Amino acid sequence: MSFDPHALKLYVDGSCLRNPGGNSGHAAWLEYPSDWDMPDRPLDLVGFHESTNNRMELRAVIWAYRWIQDQGNGLGVSRVQIITDSQYVYEYVRLAHTWKQNRWRNAQNRPVENSDLWKEILSLRNKMIVRTDLEWMLGKKSAITRAVDKSAKEAAKHATETDRGFHSGKIGRTKNKVGGAALLFPASGQQARIRIYQTSAFSSGENKIKFQLFSEEQQDYFAKFVAYASPEVGLGLHRQHTYNVQFNANPKYPVIEAVVEEL
């Protein structure tokens, strides 16, 4: 991928050593316009005690916007490109305005994660003096992307800061090994037997619940799913506990509506 040779470029990256909730960090490297004949250089790296990969990718972009804003017209260029390898940031930044208008819920009415950082990005983008574009590039494919990746990991190893917007919730291991990410539960108004392995809360109080589903055929818990719950229901769901629960009938926004019984 080619970028504007006359633009100042900030390569940013985020890292979480044990996602989610592990030591995390983000970093930025600077690449000067090609005709300046100046070497790439590191700008900064920041480590946090607990966070997630996605929050670090967002914080890296926020750091870059702030740096550009602070430098102002002294940058000596008419264009700056912030380059991230995070598809999460690059793909969703175009939806952030819509989420804001929808009170930080997505098209399926599910609460948007990391809304505190998305709000900050929107605010900063509206205040830029110099033209600033967010670009995507596959990571670790050039010397500078490998360098910023290494710096982000190094930042995570020397954590000093607290990511105050990160809510760790309660995390436990699944008792039988199941790979892959948790999928949205295909809610259809059914009751189901589940075992909780992670709970977390949004700023609105709504809970995000990750669990394994019990299979009558296998007589064991399998797969990993995610659903949501009101604060009242979520407070009664504890990790490593098993429950019969009642789901709503919306597979795009699965909600645990009630706990039928704890097993």
Q: What is the pLDDT of residue 186?
A: 97
Helix (H) or strand (E) holding 235: none
Of 157, 187, 211, the last residue of a domain is: 157
Q: What is the pLDDT of residue 181?
A: 82
Amino acid of residue 137: M
- Cα of first residue to Cα of last residue in the chain, in angstroms, is 55
Question: Are both 116 and 20 inside the same structural domain?
Answer: yes
Query: Would you report the helix, strand and coil content of the chain in percent, each value rounded to 5?
Result: 25, 35, 40
Question: Are both 255 and 214 inside the same structural domain?
Answer: yes
pLDDT < 70 regions, the chain:
1-2, 168-180
Question: Are both 45 and 153 inside the same structural domain?
Answer: yes
Q: What is the pLDDT of residue 216?
A: 86
DSSP state of 180: S
Q: What is the pLDDT of residue 219?
A: 86
Q: What is the pLDDT of residue 244?
A: 97
Find the domain containing 218 and state its range. 170-262
* Residues recorded for the chain: 263
DSSP state of 93: G
Q: What is the pLDDT of residue 9?
A: 97
Q: What is the pLDDT of residue 204?
A: 81
Could you tell me the CATH number of the domain that includes residue 26?
A: 3.30.420.10
The crossing angle, in degrees rounded to 10, of helices 53-71 and 115-125 is 20
Question: Are both 88 and 185 inside the same structural domain?
Answer: no
Question: Are both 16 and 131 inside the same structural domain?
Answer: yes
Reduce the DSSP state of residue 100 to 3 states and report it: helix
The answer to whether 14 and 29 have CB atoms below 8 angstroms apart is no
pLDDT digits (tens, 9 = 90+) for 25-48: 999 999 999 999 999 999 999 999
Is residue 164 assigned to a domain? no
Is residue 178 assigned to a domain? yes
Is residue 165 assigned to a domain? no
Q: What is the pLDDT of residue 217?
A: 84
Question: Are both 153 and 191 inside the same structural domain?
Answer: no
Could you tell me the CATH number of the domain that includes residue 225?
A: 2.40.50.120
d(CA 88, CA 181): 15
d(CA 250, CA 223): 19
**Domain count within the chain:** 2
The answer to whether 99 and 122 have CB atoms below 8 angstroms apart is no
Q: What is the pLDDT of residue 170?
A: 53
Question: Are both 42 and 152 inside the same structural domain?
Answer: yes
Q: What is the pLDDT of residue 1?
A: 55
